[in-house]
Structures are given as C-alpha cells and as structure tokens.
Chain A
Amino acid sequence: MSDDIILRAEDLVKHYPVKTGIIRRTVGHVKAVDGVSFDLHRGETLGVVGESGCGKSTLARLLMRLEEPTSGKVTIDGVDLYSQTGAAMRKLRRDIQIVFQDPYTSLDPRKTVGDIIGEPFDIHPEAAPKGSRRAKVRELLDLVGLNPEHINRYPHQFSGGQRQRIGVARGIALRPKILICDEPVSALDVSVQAQVINLLEHLQRELGLSYLFIAHDLAVVRHISTRVAVMYLGKIVEIGDEVEIYERPTHPYTQALLSAVPVPDPALAGAREQIMLRGDVPSPAAPPSGCRFHTRCFRAHELWLADRTAAPATGTQESAAEIAEEVPPPCRTEVPELILRSDGVGEHASACHFAQARTVVTAA
C-alpha cells in the first residue's frame, strides 16, 4: 500500500436482513452498501454525495465500526479495521473519529461541555494524564473558536453553530488521523454554515487531518473537497478530482444531480439546462438489475431511442418486458464496473457503460 493512503476500503458490503412474521423469517436484504471501494489519501478531503438512502451514512458507520460489515475490508494506515479486538481496537479508534449531523441530539444534554469533550480522555487515558484534562479541554474549546470559560455550560446554552463546534472539538480531542463528517453543516443556518466550514478547513491545515465529508449539498462539497465520490443505491457510480466530477462528469446520475442543484444566480438559473429524472430512487431492498440507475437514466433512454430509429426493431428479438424498460441491453443486464473511462480531457473512474463527459455546471 502506498504511504500516501491513510484509509482503504475494499469491496465493502453491508446488507440488513428484512424480517417478517412471528418467527422473524428473513425474506430479503436491504443492500445499503453494496461493494464500495475507495482510497482516502493523507491530508485530503474526500466528499461523498448522493440522495437519501444511497448508503452514505451506512458507509460512515461501517468506517467507524459502529456496524460490522457483511463482507469487505477496511485498512487504516495498513491495519485491518475489522480484525482488531480489545485493546488493539480501542487504540485504532483513536485514529478515526466522527462528527454527526444533528448537534441537538448528538450531545448529551445532562453533561457539561467539559464532560462531553473530555469523555474521549476517560476512554483513552493515555491520551491525556488525569491532571491535565481540564487544560486540554480548554485548549480544544479555544481551537474551535469557543470561549474556554464556558467549559461548565450545558449544550442547551449554545446555539446550533456553537454546538456543532462542540461536536467538532470532541471529534478532534484524541488527535485522530481521520475525521468523518456526516452532514456536519446541513442542520445549520446559512450564515452559520460558512463559519463551520471555515473551521473545518482551518483544523485540517493545523492538524493535518484527512476528512471523509458526507453531505447532500453539492456546492458545499465542491468547496471543501479535493476528491468527490458519487453514490447511488449503495454503490459508488463515479469518483474523481473535484474538477473532474463537477466540470466533466461522465455518469448520467452525476450529471442529473448537478443539473438539479439550484444556483443562486437568476441569470444562470434561466440559462441552465436541467435534466429531470423520472420517478424516485428505487428501494435498496430490490435494486434494479444491471446498472442500478437504468430505470431512471435519461441517457440510456436516449441511446435506446436513437438505436430504434436507426434500425427499426424486427419485433422478434426483444421481449415485451425489455421494450417496456426502454434502455439498451447492457444497462439492463450487465453491472457496469467502476473503472477509468475517458472524460474528454483525461480519464477518471465512472460506472457507466456509455460514459461520456457532459458540461452541466457552467462556470460563472
């Protein structure tokens, strides 16, 4: 493994059984995360975007080992995450910490800020000797831009943005190598979001952290990320540099997602072409065959239409069901691999049989 890679996920799978009836018989599986592989480099921010239900939060929980995977492997700095036990596991947990979305429910209302931020030191006493803990907590409060005098206050005495700072302080208390941010700013007001984003960037420079930044706001992700992964129904459909994903997306889902984001500029809002997707995200308990996006894919449908006009169907080769889906055969039957595909300028990984770059975000 390259020295540069701090976390590597290989073919990570998490299926939740669906049970029914009195004897809780398993009738199927929700494929929340279904074969996800990626590398996180030292000091970089990998943004993970996707709609609700695409598995991005399950991915965060797997990387924290809050869930055991169905299969797959994660190595942190060369150490296998899922085979560690006892003291070794506890030691490994110091390296990877998380900041949750909702600063209102992720802080214990009965504990003071000092207790909340100091709790990691109770679990990992080697990180700070007993006498020095209060001083450490004050240092942390100062680092995240809160007043160290407020160490004895309770979470309800703080605003949403300040609570999120407390959550960040707890996350960095053990000086982890990796910080997972699961929608860290989506519960905050617009004018406070920028403050927390700036704080995260500042801490990254100060402490050399690597971030896995999960969010549904594509503009925020672009601002903070070095690389971006796009997830759909438990799989990464496209991954690449921030510029590759935003300026030369090759997967139709990425293109649709980007085109749907409203831009705060009425001049551009009128001029932009918007790709409307058909219907809703299918259930992850019964994902579509072949490419999981094929039921909503505009490009597959366009290709199918072009194909039919070029060579009128003979009427014998295609079954009724195939015609009803109105997409080319490979989209329906073959799972596209996440491999390097040309994006016009260079190449980056995309899981589409017919990957082709398309400009959907016009530079201002």
Chain B
Amino acid sequence: MTTAPATPADPAAGSSPAPSGERVLEVDDLHVEFRTREGVAKAINGVSFTLDRGETLAILGESGSGKSVTAQAIMGILDTPPGYVTGGKIVFEGRDLLTLPAKERRATRGAGIAMIFQDALSALNPVFPVGWQIAEMFRVHRGLNRKDAEERAIELMERVRIPAARQRAKAYPHQFSGGMRQRIMIAMAIALDPKVLIADEPTTALDVTVQAQIMDLLHELQEDSGMGLILITHDLGVVAGVAHRIAVMYSGRLVETAPVGPLYADPRHPYSIGLLQSVPRLDQKRDETLPAIGGLPPNLLAIPPGCPFSPRCRFVAPECTQGDPPDLVEVGPGRFAACLRLDAVAAQVRAEGGATGAAAPSSPSLGANGRSNDNDGAGRADGSASESEEGRS
C-alpha cells in the first residue's frame, strides 16, 4: 500500500473529510471495445479516475454510457470476446492489473477488489445454501476448514444484519427477500476485507424502504473498514447522500467530475445540467413540462464526430460537431468538465435562473442540427418537449 503511484494527490478529495488521501486505485486512459458482427462498439473511450482509501466515488450514467463496462474491466470479468481492453492502465496497489498474469490477477479478485451486482438472485447459486456460498470465500482463498469457514460466514451474516443468521445460513437464495439477498451478496463481497468495493446498481431492483437500508449498510461498512467504494448508478438521488465525488459518464467518456455538493448545486456540463433538470423532484411540484433532454443516447457503433453529446445538446454550436471530443478541463477546485462552450453554457444557465432553480427552462431541445445519431433514424422522438409546448398554447 505504500507503493502508491507518485501522482499528485487528487484535489477533488480535498473537499470531503472522509478520504484519507491514500490512493488505492487509479484508472488511466482506459479503452474498451466490443467487436460484434455489426461492427466495433467503442464502449469506453479514455476514462481516467482515481479512488482513495475511504472514499466513495459515484459513477453516474445511463445504459450504454459504459459505467458497468468500466467496472467489469477493473474486475477483469469482461466477456472476451466480444469485449477487449484496447488501451490504458488499471493500477491497484502499485501494479497494473492489465499486465498481471491471470493467476495473480485472480488473487486480487475478492481479496483486493470485490464487486456486488444489481441482481442478487442471478448472482447467487440457487442450489447451495447461502452460508455455504459465503463460506466458500474462506475455504478457497483462506484455506479454512469447513467448520471454521461456516462460523466465519455466520459472523458475516450477522455483520450485514441478517436476523437469525445461524438458522438462515442453511437456507437457499430463493428463500430470502430481495433486500436480504443483497445483504448476502454484500457479505460475500466484504468477506476478505477488500481495499476496493465496486457496487454496480446495488439498489436498483429494490423497493425504496429497502434501498435506504442497503445504502445505510454499505456506508456503515465502509466507515468501519476504510475501503474505497465505487458506486455505479443511474439514479441521481441515491448517490447524493453517500458519495464524496461524482463522475458523470456519457458515451464511454467522463464528461464531468466534481465533489458531490458542487455538482448538484452548479453542474457545468450540459449533460449533467440536463439530467438534473429532467428528473421530477419529490420536494417540489412543478406544474409545467419537464425540461427533457431530447433525442436518444448515442449508438456506440457510430459515435458522432466532435462532442458525443452535441446531437442532444441545447447549447450546441458548430465547433461542437467537428474534430475530436473535448477533453476534461479544470473548472474549479477538483472539478473537471469536458465541454467546449463552458463559459457560454454557464452564462446562459445563470440567465435562466440557475440549473437547479425553480425557474428551469422548458425550451425544447431538439436534435439541434437535425443530425440523427440513432441508426433507426427515428429522430422525431426528440420533439416531445416542443410538442407539449404547442399543446398548451
């Protein structure tokens, strides 16, 4: 752990008290592509981020943005073929995981970096009791005998607050509720005290009351053990209360990274602004049309030139649609955004009364220059916002 790479401390960590500044994971310029019959889908196009001990990084994005593929690449569980890591480094404890021999890489899984998945029912083996499955971690990785391993499994089940753990250890996955199954998966993931835990949509399939319990549990376990937590989600609400830093992904790139407070209060990238404005809020009733982001997420087989968000962006200008995608530039302490027109966007948002203020704009965001980025060509789906406007007048 003392062999952390000699990169300067990430300034983003400075704004929140919990992270200790000790680097546990560094992803540098990661590229992943899927070679399919239809062509090469560029799922990740140069993603870089760092994770400190005790830090919670939320990766936010829609389906197809590459957030889950990033997690799979870090874990080394990408399906190859069709998925290939075509560039970049994943440095964990000073070593690049991508160049490690398979055997050493396997040793980091579970003990170094562990992962929990969205669907606990399909991630658990239906024909073995859950206690046996948790104990397997100790038998295989730690070489414990069956009896000791089962004891440790029961301790873990108590730690993730499964009631009557000793009796329940003999039960099978289908005999548990969704929330309890997610707890069992968390128990398996933390069994070997990993330095990094990746949670891929851990609460998406759960009811809100249970969702709150699970987020609470993850938060508590992290504070106890000081592990770094990567939380992958599409839900802006879930991460607001627990993350230190947020990375917003779009079309296989990070478009904005920022400490959690500033991101929600003052998003800078048009996509982040659009996301925050388009979500209905529980604490306010707006009797107006939601300012939806028009269009569709891009087709990864044919990413448009220039900024990948430009076909859906309401601030688009001619320079956005040419050349290479914009790079992340520093826009504040520990804040980065990848947009060519940051100043113009900020000025316009201020004029409209703020990105998250009550006076959110309801201007239609049609596919701008009419360029349709979806290969089914049904770009007219963009028009709902403007149509609703017409409908009211």
- Which residues of A does B touch, CB under 8 Å? 51-52, 145-147, 150, 153, 157-159, 161-162, 165, 189-199, 201-202, 205-206, 216, 218-220, 222-224, 242-243, 246, 256-258, 260-270, 274, 276-277, 279-281, 361-364
Q: Which single residue of chain A is at the shortest CB-CB distance from B356?
A: A265
Cα of A270 to Cα of B377 in the assembled complex, Å: 44
Cα of A291 to Cα of B284 in the assembled complex, Å: 31
CB-based contact B381/A145 at 8 Å: yes
CB-based contact B208/A51 at 8 Å: yes
**Interface status of B177 (Cβ within 8 A of chain A):** yes
Return chain B residues, CB-CB under 8 Å to A197: 280, 290, 292
Return chain A residues, CB-CB under 8 Å to B236: 190, 264
Contact A201-B388, Cβ < 8 Å, known A159-B376, A264-B281: yes
Q: Within B353-379, which residues are at the interface with A (CB < 8 Å)?
A: 356, 374, 376-379
Closest Cβ of chain A to B320, distance in Å, is 18
Closest Cβ of chain B to A43, distance in Å, is 15
CB-based contact A218/B208 at 8 Å: yes
**Interface status of B226 (Cβ within 8 A of chain A):** no
CB-based contact A198/B376 at 8 Å: no
Contact A219-B275, Cβ < 8 Å, known A198-B292, A257-B208: no
Q: Which of B260, B293, B382 contacts A194 (CB 8 A)?
A: B293
Q: Which single residue of chain B is at the shortest CB-CB distance from A51?
A: B207
CB-based contact B209/A277 at 8 Å: yes
Cα of A150 to Cα of B285 in the assembled complex, Å: 36
Among B179, B211, B212, B235: residue with most chain A CB under 10 A? B212
**Interface status of B86 (Cβ within 8 A of chain A):** no
What are some 7 contacts across the A-B interface (CB < 8 A)? A51-B208, A145-B381, A146-B380, A190-B235, A194-B290, A195-B293, A219-B237
Return chain B residues, CB-CB under 8 Å to A261: 208, 237, 282
Cα of A280 to Cα of B234 in the assembled complex, Å: 25
CB-based contact B376/A202 at 8 Å: no
CB-based contact A262/B240 at 8 Å: yes
Q: Which single residue of chain A is at the shortest CB-CB distance from B213?
A: A276
**Interface status of B57 (Cβ within 8 A of chain A):** no
CB-based contact A270/B297 at 8 Å: no
Closest Cβ of chain A to B243, distance in Å, is 8
CB-based contact B381/A195 at 8 Å: yes
Return chain B residues, CB-CB under 8 Å to A202: 289, 384, 387-388, 391
**Interface status of B296 (Cβ within 8 A of chain A):** yes
Closest Cβ of chain B to A227, distance in Å, is 13
Return chain B residues, CB-CB under 8 Å to A246: 282, 285
CB-based contact A264/B264 at 8 Å: yes
Q: Which of B63, B210, B291, B378 contacts A150 (CB 8 A)?
A: B378
**Interface status of B216 (Cβ within 8 A of chain A):** yes
Cα of A362 to Cα of B260 in the assembled complex, Å: 20
Q: A194-B279, A261-B208, A262-B238 are in contact. List 4 more A-B contacts (CB 8 A).
A: A198-B289, A201-B289, A223-B280, A223-B285
Q: Which of A145, A159, A279 contacts B383 (CB 8 A)?
A: A145
**Interface size range of chain B in the complex:** 35 or more
Determine chain B's interface SS by DSSP, over half rule.
helix
CB-based contact B283/A270 at 8 Å: no
CB-based contact B381/A165 at 8 Å: yes
CB-based contact B292/A194 at 8 Å: yes
Contact A280-B381, Cβ < 8 Å, known A52-B207, A364-B284: no
Interface string of B189-219 (1 = CB under 8 A from A): 0000000000000000001111111011000
Determine chain A's interface SS by DSSP, over half rule.
helix
CB-based contact A266/B264 at 8 Å: yes
Q: Which single residue of chain A is at the shortest CB-CB distance from B62?
A: A189
- Which residues of B does A touch, CB under 8 Å? 62-63, 163, 177-180, 207-213, 215-216, 234-238, 240-241, 260-261, 264-265, 274-276, 278-286, 289-294, 296-297, 312, 356, 374, 376-385, 387-388, 391-392
CB-based contact B282/A222 at 8 Å: yes
Return chain A residues, CB-CB under 8 Å to B297: 159, 189, 191
Return chain A residues, CB-CB under 8 Å to B356: 265
Q: Which single residue of chain B is at the shortest CB-CB distance from A150?
A: B378
Cα of A258 to Cα of B282 in the assembled complex, Å: 8
CB-based contact A263/B282 at 8 Å: yes
Return chain B residues, CB-CB under 8 Å to A265: 240, 264, 283, 356
Q: Which of B208, B278, B378, B392 contacts A216 (CB 8 A)?
A: B208
Q: Which of B207, B261, B388 contacts A199 (CB 8 A)?
A: B388
CB-based contact A195/B292 at 8 Å: yes
Cα of A162 to Cα of B214 in the assembled complex, Å: 33
CB-based contact A190/B281 at 8 Å: no
Q: Which of B210, B285, B292, B387 contacts A191 (CB 8 A)?
A: B292
Cα of A270 to Cα of B240 in the assembled complex, Å: 9
CB-based contact A145/B296 at 8 Å: no
CB-based contact A264/B234 at 8 Å: no
Q: Which single residue of chain B is at the shortest CB-CB distance from A253?
A: B209
CB-based contact A190/B237 at 8 Å: no
Closest Cβ of chain B to A107, distance in Å, is 14
Q: Which of A158, A191, A205, A268 contacts B293 (CB 8 A)?
A: A191
Contact A222-B280, Cβ < 8 Å, known A161-B296, A198-B384, A280-B177: yes
Q: Which single residue of chain A is at the shortest CB-CB distance from B211?
A: A260
Return chain B residues, CB-CB under 8 Å to A224: 280
CB-based contact A242/B260 at 8 Å: no
Return chain A residues, CB-CB under 8 Å to B261: 266-267
Among A196, A219, A362: residue with most chain B CB under 10 A? A219
Among B213, B284, B388: residue with most chain A CB under 10 A? B388
Cα of A342 to Cα of B215 in the assembled complex, Å: 34
Q: Which single residue of chain B is at the shortest CB-CB distance from A204?
A: B391
Q: Which single residue of chain B is at the shortest CB-CB distance from A205?
A: B391
Return chain B residues, CB-CB under 8 Å to A266: 240-241, 260-261, 264
Closest Cβ of chain A to B384, distance in Å, is 5
Return chain A residues, CB-CB under 8 Å to B292: 191, 194-195, 197-198
